């Protein structure tokens, strides 16, 4: 093509972009000219999917890229996170709690647009309830749902559905879910929902499930599915490692039956738990299944261009470091080769029989003499010491580092696709994410259509 022709086409595109931008309203201004020219997606979403990788700081998405990389090819393949990255977000809580947030304060920020103290479940620093995006969506005639791998009354989902001065009030939070009118609640937490409480949910029209295999039998209506006593198993230890993506698929299927739209929260809750444990093997397993769930929503959006997905983390956990101890290396083959979580490997090693053969099989590599004597000493001191010893062995072999068993205050990433996705570009605060999402809800109440 001649240079002048190219220039002409470029100018035409620019003109079209400018004309479209100036002719549409403020909300659509953030939509890039390219998206507008394609003209196939509305500028305001009908449905919103919020996805939170709990504790998933930037090192986790980088680590996941190398964990998934095929070492036999020259290029390092992009992940779903690389594909959908649009911006960053600060996570600091209200002044009173300093710069490092917990999941409760951050989820409150993401659900309400208000900063609060660490431990608060959608109440402000005066312990007064703040309306959440889920409550606003319900009041406008939309459906709402949560699908998580922790107990459903854990800090993140709780801050989207309820209010409490403390995240530790698990029983109160479980009771309060009766009033949320949320349509889909999937995750763990049987321990907090005794028979009497479940009967109250059933009296309100909920279908109750405790067997994951029955999830597919639910075709419509409200559902509360609790598939573990507390949290779901580590994905890497689970015979069905795709529970989060299956719950996400089902939630989309059920919620999309409301023509008014829906707001869904999906949380990869256990990324944070693995981070607290400084467990790179479990962390990568949880990252993989969270990535699968994001891809489920991405596929849904390819078919339903009226749906916005925003993915972020509530904070960073563990201070994960890709490379450590002054060495310029990170050996993903070691991590990929481990067949089960350190929890599982330690438990298995405490049983009788040839424990070393089983540990070697589970680790996927042969420990050297020093490592064997360390493992052997740890084994005699019981399960917790054995778990720690196995994690240390994997860390030192793979050169993985950690700085804390808690959270850190580093900014997290924001990923988005669908209508108004570009509103989330660049730097923002976690409260801005909520404010933007809430501004995208319908302005007037729709009639219930179900
Ligand atoms: Zn945490």
Q: Which CATH number belongs to the domain containing residue 130 in this structure? A: 3.40.720.10
Same domain, 366 and 253: no
Same domain, 222 and 353: no
Same domain, 152 and 98: yes
Task: Evaluate whether residue 4 is within a structural domain.
Answer: no
Same domain, 268 and 341: no
Distance CA 325, CA 302 (A): 44
Distance CA 203, CA 66 (A): 49
Which neighbouring-strand residues pair with 429? 90
144 CA → ligand 1 middle, Å: 25
Same domain, 390 and 410: no
Give residue 24's pLDDT: 36
225 CA → ligand 1 middle, Å: 23
Distance CA 257, CA 118 (A): 36
222 CA → ligand 1 middle, Å: 30
Instruction: Spell out the per-residue pLDDT of the chain, length 450, in tens.
Output: 444 444 433 333 333 333 333 333 344 444 444 444 444 667 999 999 999 999 999 999 999 999 999 989 999 999 999 999 999 999 999 999 999 999 999 999 999 999 999 999 999 999 999 999 999 999 999 999 999 999 999 999 999 999 999 999 999 999 999 999 999 999 999 999 999 999 999 999 999 999 999 999 999 999 999 999 999 999 999 999 999 999 999 999 999 999 999 999 999 999 999 999 999 999 999 999 999 999 999 999 999 999 999 999 999 999 999 999 999 999 999 999 999 999 999 999 999 899 999 999 999 999 999 999 999 999 999 999 999 999 999 999 999 999 999 999 999 999 999 999 999 999 999 999 999 999 999 988 877 655
Active site residues: 103
Same domain, 55 and 152: yes
Same domain, 303 and 239: yes
Q: How many domains does the chain have?
A: 2
Task: Evaluate whether residue 41 is within a structural domain.
Answer: no
Same domain, 170 and 124: yes
Which residues participate in the annotated binding site for Zn(2+)? 54, 272, 276, 314-315, 407
Q: How many residues does the chain have?
A: 450
Task: Evaluate whether residue 187 is within a structural domain.
Answer: yes
Distance CA 282, CA 238 (A): 11
Same domain, 234 and 144: yes
Distance CA 391, CA 363 (A): 10
Distance CA 286, CA 246 (A): 14
Which residues participate in the annotated binding site for Mg(2+)? 54, 154, 156, 267
> Phi/psi of residue 101, each to 5°?
-90, 160
203 CA → ligand 1 middle, Å: 35
Task: Evaluate whether residue 7 is within a structural domain.
Answer: no
Task: Evaluate whether residue 21 is within a structural domain.
Answer: no
Domain ranges, residue 264: 47-320+404-439
Same domain, 343 and 430: no
- Please state, as a whole number, how many other Cβ atoms lie within 10 Å of the Cβ of residue 415: 24
406 CA → ligand 1 middle, Å: 7
Q: Which of 279, 310, 238, 285 is nearest to 89 (CA)?
A: 310
Q: What is the pTM of this model?
A: 0.90
Task: Evaluate whether residue 10 is within a structural domain.
Answer: no
Give the rounded distance of the alpha carbon of 7 from its chain centre.
44
Give the rounded distance of the alpha carbon of 213 from its chain centre.
23
Which residues participate in the annotated binding site? 54, 154, 156, 267, 272, 276, 314-315, 407
CATH number at residue 363: 1.10.60.40
Same domain, 272 and 285: yes
Q: What is the largest CA-CA distance in the chain?
A: 79
Pull the structure tokens for residue 255: 């919620």
């Amino acid at each position: 093509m001649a240079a002048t022709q190219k220039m002409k086409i470029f100018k035409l595109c620019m003109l079209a972009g400018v004309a479209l931008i100036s002719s549409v309203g403020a909300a659509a201004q953030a939509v890039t000219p390219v998206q507008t020219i394609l003209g196939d997606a509305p500028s305001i979403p009908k449905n919103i999917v919020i996805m939170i990788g709990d504790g998933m700081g930037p090192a986790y998405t980088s680590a996941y890229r190398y964990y998934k990389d095929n070492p036999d090819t020259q290029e390092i393949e992009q992940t779903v996170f690389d594909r959908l990255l649009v911006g960053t977000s600060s996570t600091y809580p209200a002044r009173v709690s300093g710069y490092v947030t917990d999941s409760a304060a951050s989820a409150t920020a993401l659900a309400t647009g208000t900063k609060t103290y660490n431990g608060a479940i959608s109440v402000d620093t005066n312990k007064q309830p703040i309306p959440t995006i889920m409550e606003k969506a319900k009041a406008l005639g939309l459906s709402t749902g949560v699908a998580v791998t922790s107990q459903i009354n854990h800090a993140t989902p709780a801050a989207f559905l309820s209010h409490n001065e403390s995240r530790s009030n698990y029983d109160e939070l479980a009771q309060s879910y009766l009033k949320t009118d949320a349509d889909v609640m999937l995750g763990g937490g049987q321990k907090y929902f005794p028979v009497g409480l479940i009967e109250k949910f059933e009296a309100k029209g909920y279908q109750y499930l405790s067997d994951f295999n029955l999830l597919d039998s639910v075709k419509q209506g409200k559902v509360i599915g609790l598939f573990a006593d507390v949290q779901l198993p580590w994905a890497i230890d689970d015979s069905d490692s795709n529970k989060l993506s299956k719950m996400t698929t089902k939630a989309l299927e059920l919620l999309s039956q409301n023509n008014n739209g829906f707001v869904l929260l999906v949380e990869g809750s256990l990324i944070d738990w693995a981070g607290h444990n400084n467990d790179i093997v479990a962390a990568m397993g949880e990252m993989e299944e969270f990535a699968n769930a994001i891809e489920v929503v991405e596929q849904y959006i390819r078919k339903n261009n009226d749906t916005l997905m925003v993915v972020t983390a509530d904070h960073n956990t563990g201070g994960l470091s890709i490379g450590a101890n002054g060495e310029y290396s990170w050996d993903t083959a070691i991590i990929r080769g481990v067949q089960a979580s350190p929890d599982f490997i330690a438990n298995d090693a405490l049983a009788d029989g040839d424990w070393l053969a089983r540990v070697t099989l589970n680790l996927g590599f042969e420990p050297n003499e020093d490592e064997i004597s360390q493992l052997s000493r740890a084994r005699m001191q019981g399960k917790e010491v054995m778990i720690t010893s196995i994690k240390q062995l994997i860390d030192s072999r793979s050169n993985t580092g950690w700085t804390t068993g808690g959270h850190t205050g580093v900014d997290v990433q924001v990923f988005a696709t669908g209508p108004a996705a570009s509103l989330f570009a660049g730097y923002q605060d976690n409260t801005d994410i909520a404010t933007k999402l809430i501004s995208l809800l319908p302005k007037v109440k729709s009639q219930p259509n179900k």
